[in-house]
Amino acid sequence: MSGVLASMIDGLLVGAVYGLAAMGLSLIWGVMDVINLTHGAMIALGMFAMYLLFGALMTNAYVLLLPVMAAGLLLGIVVYWMSVHRVVGRPMLMSLLSTFAVNMMVIGIGTAIWSTSPYNVNFSLPGITIGAYTFTGNHIAAAIGAVVIALALQLFLYHTRTGKAIRAVADNREAAELMGISTTAVLTIAFGIGIALACTSGALVSTLFPFTILSGATYQLKSFVVTILAGLGKPFGALVAGVLLGLLEGVVTPFIAVSWIPLIEFGLFVVVLVAFPQGIFGRATA
Amino acid sequence: MKNVALLASVLILLVTAGFGQQTLTVGFTESKTGALNVDSLEQYRGFELWRDQVNAAGGIKAGGKSYNIKFASYDDESNSKRVQQLYTRLILEDKADFLFSPYSSPLTATAAVVTEQYGKIMLTTGAAEGKTYTLGNHCLFQMFAPAPEYLKVALDALKTKDPKATVAFVYEDSSFSVAVVTPAKAYAQQLGINVVFTEAYAPATTDFSAIIDKVIASKATVLLGGGHYADGSTLARQLYGHKVPLKMLTLLVAPDSPQWTELGDAAVGVTVPSQWAPQSAFKAQYGPSGADFAKAYAAKYNTPPSYESAGGYASGLILQRAIEQSGGIDTAKVADALNATDITTFYGRTKFSTAANEHGLQVGHSMVLAQWQKDKSGKLVKEVVWPLAGKSANLVYPMR
Amino acid sequence: MILRRPFFWIILAIAALFLYLPLRSNDVSLREDLILIAIAIILASNLNLMIGYTGYVNFGHIVFYGLGGYIGLYLATVLGWNLVLSALMAGLAVSVCALLFGLLILRLRGAYFALATIGVLQAVQAFVANFDPWGRSTGMYLSFAVYQPLGGAMRALWLTYYLIIAVMALSMILSLAIKNSKFGLGLFAIREDEDAAVVLGVNATVYKAIIYSVSAFLPAVAGALMFYKNGMIDPSIAFEYMLSLEGIVMLMLGGQGAVMGAALGAALYEKLRSFLLTSPTLSNFHLVIAGGLLLLVVLFAPGGLIGWFYRVLPRARKVIE
């Protein structure tokens, strides 16, 4: 196993989680044209939720994903009613600011409770060793979790009534209203799912490294990059774009210092924004 | 009746003034929160133990007066912008007479800008980077041995054990670690040791997989580097998780903390360059002996002192001595006394450089290399393994 | 023409107050408080040119401040230039960069533009953190002797204060001048309906690029001065994403679009933040309170304080701009 290949596999694993994190952002943006600036804070909350549940129950951390997802859904519904409902349909700046305001509040409360000292979820699954390289079990489990959830979301959106309703509202809200779909209910659920996805991705990475309430910020930025790469509203596209981003990181790191990666990613981000406004795979939105 | 009370209070005031009980304010910030909180707490405890012991003995006695020590401190949240604002506040509003540094080189460098702007004395501890002292200061005094000393002890030990080892430097891209690794690389080459990989990681890095893969690809058998507790402990944990075949792992700062044992198996065999170890048996010309210090510290905090705590306590001790020598708390006179200091305490020899281009740099203090080893009962203990003259155990090589 | 606007004189009076108050009693502590407020006003006023006047949300505004700080510090220390010259040159350099970048990203609309500005901020921060001549992650530290030509540290700090107040006054005057000019009308037209404006003959691309570049100049100058005063700079304090966002909060709080709105929002928010940060019980809640305030303003009073004030006293519109 060569160093480059090992690095690419590591990149793939970490990219799956980037993709999952981005899915929530992409869904919300695609359905209601709202850029959710609480995204990062929600990811961090997912990390802490896992920390608390694991501390209390001491079971396999990955089993605890389900309660975290459920909690995320509820949280999303609350946040929607608090800050998004009134500003859906109004200029983009309003929803940017209202979600940003909620983000500040969540970070403030999180800092008050947990401070900015690092926390750990000390749970390890055995890894897989190939030659000189070991791929940690936690990384593998996170990637598998991401793919499974992405598939589940895809099934949900395309094969259930609620899923179809969500896609209808994303396509054309007024027409959906006319068809008898309660758009408020749909928007609420869609937002809830978006947050649930964010929290779950946070929970998945909580076992990988020490985190604070501010750790969601890097994932939020990567989510933006991935969402722009994938185009809006196609959650599975977000997963693929996330994996590609991770792969890019994996391919590049053996050759240059790791500290150049953010520059490359953001450079790419700006270039894609300017050159491919619809994203590399996506469809155009207003 | 009121007149009697008034007279009584005036008399009491005169009497206490006559006894000359004054207050001395020492200002500093601690990183109560943020990535540096573990190391900063140990430093703070050193300060606190010194203050409590001195006040219990009646305060610092100088020039016929007794000075009761009062601390003014804030939480800098491990953030340099906060440090600037808070040190300004400590000087202007809390009217601190003297300052101690925050913990860590970058925060100390920031604080130094403020203390120099206002012409106040600051004793720095927990800060080994030497560049700050080359900027033309008048009132900075460094307690730690400077950064270039850190990995010298590890490389000297390695040279005797395994001169053919291949070395990787993986370190935090911040002033302290850079100041340690740059001269260390040159020293390694001087000793003829083969350096196969060098890379710095951004300070907030939490996932080292990419760098670890590169270390494996380089076939290094020894890794030197790290930074502070948060990144150092994570790096150690992830190196262990990736089963990297290292024969020696020397990390800065992190393994010196008593919290290191929380890493379990990942903690065994790791070496750390240390500013002080309880086994160091210096003959103290001033202040308590090493054994007394360690005992008092353990009694108060239920944990053995780390070298950050020793540095904190020693800062207070040296400041105290300078105040006693100068007969008061006048900044210029105390600065002169500090410049003239050349003394051995439990902490080792302390002497500050007075050359204009490196004023305040610590030139008397030297370092040891410590290693976490399992004792006969399987418990993890920290032993001094280098220099050979002062060691308490042999270096375990390969480490696992 | 601008001298006829009563608000011009109000701006000068405010600047005079900022100069007089700390000087009167040689109150260094007050000066430190006021300088933070002045910086907040500079950042908010210039941000207002993009958000309030042109309707383009710039999330990465702080990049101008940070870059100005780096360039200014580099010129003043490594090349040994005079402070004022370094600051002006920094402002110029950053404006030129902004013009070039602006031409690239200003073809984006709405949320995409906002995201692109975040991308620019992060990319610049990542670049600087890898750039050797500027100290990489460690940053640059001024030699303590650098204040000697200005007469020592104490005098240098006061001098920097005066210069920053001057920049503050200039920021507000600049906002006022643009608001009352034909150029400003073009910007407002772009804000209201860009396509219609283009049809009516407003060269939107050029106007947007110019205002983006102009909005970069004074923050860069302020950055050079402020980091000179601070004696050091590193990527984490130069490019604080949170500061960028707080600039937007200040604008919303005070009332975007109005010159006084930016200044008022900045002053109030900065005061609130200082108070919260040093109060032992509340320091953790500064973000919660700030966030809560912003939420209330966005949901219920999007015109901010000035919007409310204008409604209560419509005649004030002519005087307080």
pTM: 0.86
Host domain of residue A258: 3-275
A237 within a domain of the structure (yes/no): yes
Residues A91 and B181: their CA atoms lie apart, in Å, by: 52
pLDDT band with cut points at 50, 70 and 90 for residue B6: low
| Tokens matching residue A49 | 């939720």
Cα B307 to Cα B261: distance, rounded to the nearest angstrom: 16
Q: Which of A82, A87, A96 sits opposite C114 (nearest CB)?
A: A96
Tell me the two tokens of residue C163: 């210069």
* Chain segment C26-67, per-residue pLDDT in tens: 888 888 889 989 999 999 999 999 998 998 889 899 999 999
* C320 phi, psi to nearest 5 deg: -95, 105
Looking at residue C186, its pLDDT comes to 93
**First-residue to last-residue Cα distance in chain B:** 80
C-alpha pair distances (Å), B202 with each of B102, B273, B328, C104, C242:
21, 22, 45, 29, 19
B192: left (phi over 0), alpha (psi -120 to 50) or beta: left
Q: Answer yes or no: is A44 within a domain.
A: yes
Please name the residue of chain A whose CA is at the shortest distance from the CA of residue B173: A259
Indicate the angle between helix axes C259-278 and C153-179, nearest 10 degrees: 140
Query: pLDDT digit string (tens) for A116-174?
Result: 778 888 888 888 888 888 888 888 988 998 999 989 998 998 899 888 888 888 888 88
| CA angle (C34 as vertex; C168, C142 as ends), nearest 5 | 80
Question: What is C2-319's CATH number, 3.40.50, 1.20.272, 1.10.10, 1.10.3470?
Answer: 1.10.3470
Quick check: is A281 in a domain? no
Is B198's pLDDT higher than 80? yes
Residues of chain C in contact with residue A96, where contact means CB-CB under 8 angstroms, are 57, 111, 114
pLDDT at A285 over 70: no
pLDDT in tens, B92-101: 989 999 999 9
* Two tokens, residue A8: 């690419």
Amino acid letter, C284: N
Which positions ≥6 away from B116 have C-beta within 8 Å?
B137, B138, B139, B140, C144, C153
Q: Is the pLDDT of residue B18 over 60?
A: no
| Residue A280 belongs to some domain of the structure | no
* Chain segment B23-60, per-residue pLDDT in tens: 999 999 999 877 788 889 999 999 999 999 999 999 99
Whether B258 shows a pLDDT value over 70: the answer reads: yes
- Nearest CB to B214; choose among A3, A136, A210: A3
- The confidence score (pLDDT) of residue C246 equals 84
The Cα–Cα gap between B43 and B256 comes to 12
- What is the model's pLDDT at position B330? 93
Burial B267-303 (b: 16+ CB within 10 A, else e): bbbbbbbbbbbbbbeeebeebbebeebbebbeeebee
- Residue B14 pLDDT more than 70? no
Pick the CATH number of B17-145+280-358 from 1.10.420.10, 3.40.109.10, 1.10.287.110, 3.40.50.2300: 3.40.50.2300
Residue in B206, B205, B188 with CA at minimum distance from that of residue B197 = B188
Structure-block tokens of residue C195: 């396509």
What distance lies between CA C26 and its chain's CA centroid?
27
Which has the minimum average pLDDT: A29-33, A231-235, B36-40, B266-270? A231-235
Q: What is the mean pLDDT of residues A34-45?
A: 92
Judge whether C279 is closer than 8 Å to chain B, CB to CB. no
Q: Which amino acid is at C123?
A: A
Strands B194-201 and B166-172 turn out to be: parallel
DSSP letter string over A229-251? HH-TT-HHHHHHHHHHHHHHHHH
**In sequence order, what are the residues at sequence separation of 6 or more whose Cβ sits closer than 8 angstroms to the Cβ of residue A112?**
C284, C285, C288
Residue C314 DSSP symbol: T
Q: Output the CA–CA distances (angstroms, integers) from residue B55 to A270, B50, B59, B68, B334, in the order listed.
A: 60, 9, 4, 6, 20
Query: Tokens in use for B200?
Result: 């710095």
Residue A48 maps to which CATH number? 1.10.3470
Q: Are A117 and B34 a contacting pair at CB < 8 A?
A: yes
- Residue A219 in 3-state DSSP? helix
Q: Please give the pLDDT value at position B101.
A: 96
What is the β-pairing status of strands B65-75 and B60-62? antiparallel
Distance from CA of C282 to the nearest CA of A (A): 9
Cα Rg of chain B (Å, integer): 22
Give percent of chain B above pLDDT 90.
62
Which of C236, C287, C296, C300 has the most A C-beta neighbours within 10 Å, making it the best mutation to test the interface with A?
C287
Tell me what pLDDT residue A15 has: 92
Q: Is the dihedral of CA A177, A182, A184, A188 positive or negative?
A: negative
Provide the 10 A C-beta neighbour count for residue A121. Answer: 24
Residue A255 in contact with partner chain B when CB distance is under 8 A = no
Chains that touch C (3 or more CB pairs under 8 A): A, B
Distance of CA C224 to the CA centre of its chain: 13
CA C120 to chain centre: 17
Select from A21, A10, A9 the least CA-distant residue to A238.
Answer: A21
- Would residue A110 count as lying in a domain? yes
The ipTM, to two decimals, is 0.81
Q: Do C287 and A104 touch (CB under 8 A)?
A: yes
pLDDT over 90 (residue B138): yes
Record the tokens describing residue B44, joined without a space: 């703070």
Q: Do C115 and A83 touch (CB under 8 A)?
A: no
Burial annotation B2-39 (CB, 10 A radius, 16+ → b, else e): eeeeeeeeeeeeeeeeeeeebebbbbbbbbbbbbbbbb
CATH number of B148-274+367-390: 3.40.50.2300
Where do runs of H (alpha helix) occur along chain C?
6-24, 28-48, 62-73, 83-105, 110-128, 153-179, 182-192, 194-199, 204-230, 235-238, 241-254, 259-278, 286-300, 304-312, 316-319
Segment A249-254 shows an average pLDDT of 86
For chain A, what is the domain count?
Answer: 1
DSSP state string for A139-206:
HHHHHHHHHHHHHHHHHHHHHSHHHHHHHHHHH-HHHHHHTT--HHHHHHHHHHHHHHHHHHHHHHHT
Domain boundaries, chain B: 17-145+280-358, 148-274+367-390
Is the fold of B17-145+280-358 the same as that of B148-274+367-390? yes
Contact B179, B194 (CB under 8 A): no
| Contact status, residue C320 vs residue C14, Cβ threshold 8 Å | no
Cα A79 from chain centroid? 16
pLDDT number for residue A281: 54
C166, exposed or middle or buried, with CB in 10 Å at 0-12, 13-18, 19+? Answer: middle
Instruction: Give the sign of the dihedral formed by CA A217, CA B254, CA A52, CA A68.
Output: positive
Greatest mean pLDDT among A168-172, A230-234, B167-171, C106-110: B167-171
DSSP designation for C76 = I
Residues of C in contact with B132 (CB under 8 A): 141
- For residue range A74-111, list pLDDT tens digits in order: 999 999 998 888 888 777 778 888 898 899 899 889 98
List, for residues B238-248, the tens digit of each pLDDT value.
999 888 999 99
Residues (pLDDT < 50) of chain C are none
Q: Average model confidence (pLDDT) for chain B?
A: 90
- Residue B385 CA to residue C276 CA, distance in Å, equals 49
Among A270, A271, A278, A285, the residue to mutate for chain C (most C Cβ within 10 A): A270
Check if the beta carbon of residue B353 is closer than 8 Å to that of residue B135.
no
Predicted local confidence at residue A277, as pLDDT: 66
Cβ contacts of B78 on chain A, cutoff 8 Å: 116
Nearest to B98 by CA among B22, B27, B30, B23: B27
- Chain C residues in contact with A259 by the CB 8 A cut-off are 126, 129-130, 137
Question: Among B100-104, B314-318, C302-306, which is the least confidently predicted range?
Answer: C302-306
Q: Report angle CA B20, B21, B24 to the nearest 5 degrees.
A: 120
